[in-house]
Amino acid sequence: MDLALSAEDRAFADEVRAFARANLSPATIAKTRSGRHYDRDDHLAWQRALGKRGWHVYTWPKKYGGPGWSVTQRFLFENVLAEEGAPRILPFGPKMVGPVIYTFGNEEQKRRFLPDIVTSNILWCQGYSEPGSGSDLASLRTRAVRDGDHYVVNGQKTWTSAAHWADWIFCLVRTDTDAKPQEGISFLLIDMKSPGITVKPIIMLDGAHHVNDVFFDNVRVPAVNLIGKEGEGWTYAKFLLANERLGIAEVAASKRGVQGLRDIARAELADDGGKLIDDMGFREKIADLDLQLSALEMSELRALSTMQLGGAPGPEVSILKIRGSEIQQRIAELACEAVGNYAMPYQPELLFRDSNESPIGPAHAVPAAARYLNMRKTSIYGGTNEIQKNVISKMVLGL
């Protein structure tokens, strides 16, 4: 065992850094640094640049077009990109549906769908949740009825992130209403341009638009878009969820977040006129957070290293999701605390639009409150933290 990086590792990190500097647009980096929201083109331009290099699907094996990296390389890649101010890679294609397709899809499906994920040519979204089926996902009711060589889909998905940007959606649908809830579910790939699909925005508490309602009205989907066997969608769905939970710990982004928090504390003044970073109470709050993040990072590396040796991500990845979300929330909470009174002004133009209006307080205060409010989602999406704890108590502890 060894934590130190080898000369090759360091050379690899340098290569990634050079790539990021050459390919990230200054406008995108500026958005990261100022907390502005990215638009579709910001994501696409960056992901396509990564795609050209074979790095958009950086967790994939070589066989399907990925780089086949070691745990160390993945770790370095994520950290360097976060440090350089890269946007998060939208996970729906490369981290969610891609692995499902190459693990459970047929050869034709692999040929048809994987290359466009490798290059980020098309964007995906995830159609799992429904109004009546959030935590209890297996109760989902969106219906797919076989009609010749098509399925006819009716129903509603909700909370669908990026549906307004996506070209395709992967959906859990009910193909059998008589079977036990988990056994009547199938995994279907649907072209978002299909007639009968309507996307409606859901506005979040900070005014952001990321999630949507997606309505299906007699949408005809070729039966060749079914992954695996009809009625076995739940198995694929769970495989995907385990990957999703591993991916949303967001360790690298949180490290950047803690750094950003220290920068804010350096710029802000305390009640006595000294720098906030010199206020022992606040400094210790950041240190405490930093330590929690170290524990999370090391736990994630341990989980990844098990996977590298051939193990599947087990139910213990739920721990990473829980702690990862709490840490993201805490960073945002402390940033909000740090900016004091200037958390109060609300400047949506500066968060969501390319406005050159000047910030009302310090620039770093503009996203503080919105981020704090918005980050409450992290303990809700990807399976709520209560559900993750249920998983751990049942699957890991046997309670």
Ligand X SMILES: Cc1cc2nc3c(=O)[nH]c(=O)nc-3n(C[C@H](O)[C@H](O)[C@H](O)COP(=O)(O)OP(=O)(O)OC[C@H]3O[C@@H](n4cnc5c(N)ncnc54)[C@H](O)[C@@H]3O)c2cc1C
Residues annotated as catalytic are 244
Which amino acid is residue 278, in one-letter code?
Answer: D
Which residues from 71-90 bind ligand X, rule CB under 6 A?
A: none
Q: Is 247 in the site for ligand X (CB under 6 A)?
A: no
Tell me which of 161, 243, 318, 329 binds ligand X, using CB under 6 A. Answer: 161
Largest CA distance in the chain: 75
Q: How far is the CB of 58 from another protein (least distance, A)?
A: 29
Q: How far is the CB of 23 from ligand X (least distance, A)?
A: 27
Give CA–CA dist 24/33, Å, rounded.
13
H or E stretch covering 171: strand 168-174
Output the CA torsion sign for 6, 12, 18, 24.
negative
Residue 101 contacts residue 115 (beta carbons within 8 Å): no
3-state secondary structure of 87: coil
Q: Is 389 in the site for another protein (CB under 8 A)?
A: yes
Q: Report CA 243 to chain centroid distance, whole Å.
A: 11
Q: Is 377 in the site for another protein (CB under 8 A)?
A: yes
- Decide which of ligand X, another protein, none touches 347; Cβ closer than 5 to 8 Å per partner kind: another protein
Give CA–CA dist 208/370, Å, rounded.
9
Which of 244, 241, 222 is CA-nearest to residue 233? 241
Tell me which of 2, 108, 148, 341 binds another protein, using CB under 8 A. Answer: 341
Kindly state the number of chain residues that form the binding site for ligand X, as judged by CB under 6 A: 19
Q: Is 373 in the site for another protein (CB under 8 A)?
A: yes
Give CA–CA dist 75/141, Å, rounded.
39
- Decide which of another protein, ligand X, none touches 374; Cβ closer than 5 to 8 Å per partner kind: another protein
Q: Which stretch binds another protein (CB under 8 A): 24-32, 105-113, 166-174, 383-391?
A: 383-391
DSSP state of 312: P
Tell me which of 135, 218, 294, 355 binds ligand X, using CB under 6 A. Answer: 135
**CB within 8 A of 329, min separation 6: which ones?**
372, 375, 376, 378, 379
Residue 244 contacts residue 95 (beta carbons within 8 Å): yes
Q: Is 379 in the site for another protein (CB under 8 A)?
A: yes
Which residues from 210-269 bind another protein, rule CB under 8 A?
A: 211, 268-269
Q: How far is the CB of 366 from ligand X (least distance, A)?
A: 21
DSSP class per residue in 10-38: HHHHHHHHHHHHHHS-HHHHHHHHHTPPP
Residue ranges in contact with ligand X by CB under 6 A? 125-129, 134-135, 159-161, 211, 377, 380-381, 383-384, 386-387, 390
For binding to another protein (CB under 8 A), which residues are involved? 129, 132-136, 139, 158-159, 202-205, 207, 211, 268-273, 276, 281-282, 336-337, 340-347, 360-362, 369-370, 372-374, 376-377, 379-381, 384-386, 389
